[in-house]
Amino acid sequence: MATPNNALEYLMSKTQVDLDCLDVRVNIASNKVSTELGPFVDCTSNQADAYCELINPRHADLLKKTAALANEIKGHYHSVNFEELAMELSVKPQPRCLGHGHTTTFRADLLGQMLSLAMSISPNITGACLVMVNPRYSYSTTKIIDNGQRLYRLCKFLDPDFDLSRLIIKVPSTWEGMQACRKLKSLNVKTLATTLFSMEQAVLAAEAGVVYISPFLNDLRATFDSSIQDPDPIFDIVVQAQRYYEQHSYPTRVKACCAVNAEQILQVAGVHAYTAPADQLRELASMQEPMAKLVKRSRFKEELTDEHMNGDVDGHTNGDTNAHINGDNNGKMEKLSFIDDESSFRLAFSRADEGRAQMKTTQALNLFSDYQIKAEALMRDNDMTKIG
């Protein structure tokens, strides 16, 4: 393999790099980030990304068309109200985003504006599109299951040829969320455990059968407000989770996110996957440093080879988590089980990182819920049946 020319190429040689395709801080379409910096594998979105894009004036027509379609089909989705259904329609991935054929003229037009950013990078997106369930359902297993199934049905409605194997549903890493993932797996719905800040959540998620976990390196608020700094980023949880999965033969992969700068991303080089916004990718691409210096930044072992992704991963632990999760003197981590023991999970999770993990999870879900409420209000304001 050729020597990387910059930090981004180095990261890509060790980690699957995914793109936040609805990044609102950079106009991906006009700057051709995927052409310049790709190829990338997966693309992801959440309620904050969606809302911040939908309020752009260029989406005014899209909002009205989405509201009209939601009214047209709401009779087929009795468990959800108009506003939520319209919100879900507005962020559905289209086949063109993932390299498939065209849909009908009406449906392509309906979602074409919202997905213009993703469509601009479609030649370089080869993997999955990730869509988050309503975060206000974070503590309802039944509602999350229904939401996940509905997202699959809506994609098939928008295009019968849509390849559902390329759709992954992002579910909060609560007890109720992971029980929903357990059921959704039995229904052939792929899931990712999001808003994850502890090994306890990582253990439960693997038992539930999620495809990915998404550890947030920082308090989510720090990625929205530069005045907020997380004094306790969870770099070591990323290393521990990946090592735990490999030692105990779980197929679940670790897809980290929420660094506040490129330097933090390099500290998890070697993780299975990392999702980054365009500005941080450009920051990495501008960094030209000796390979030895880049390797030393990583919390994973220094011998990062091409075989690293399929082998054992050693890391540096900070001692914040319990010894049975950190491992013994030989690095062997005890296999735990929470999937059928709600009381043990809740107690362990509440104690993780002296309560900070639970607090960060709650804060992240509250933030996403705030954007869900704003987006639904936006849809309600564009419901022409209620205007005039």
Of 363, 34, 47, which is closest to residue 195 (Cα–Cα)?
363
* Residue 355 CA, distance from chain mean position: 23
Of 90, 107, 121, which is closest to residue 160 (Cα–Cα)?
107
- Residue 2 region, left (φ>0) first, then alpha (ψ -120 to 50), else beta? beta
Is residue 296 within 8 A of residue 23, CB to CB? The reply is: no
Strands 16-20 and 273-276: parallel
What is the C-alpha separation between 12 and 18, in angstroms, rounded? 10
- In this structure, what token pair is assigned to residue 251? 């197929």
Is residue 198 within 8 A of residue 237, CB to CB? The reply is: yes
Residue located via tokens 């290393």: 239
- Residue 56 region, left (φ>0) first, then alpha (ψ -120 to 50), else beta? beta
Of 206, 233, 214, 197, which is closest to residue 352 (Cα–Cα)?
197
Is residue 27 within 8 A of residue 151, CB to CB? The reply is: no
Three-state secondary structure call for residue 353 = helix
**Alpha-carbon distances, residue 135 vs 50, 152, 169, 348, 363 (angstroms):** 13, 17, 12, 23, 12
Catalytic residues: 170
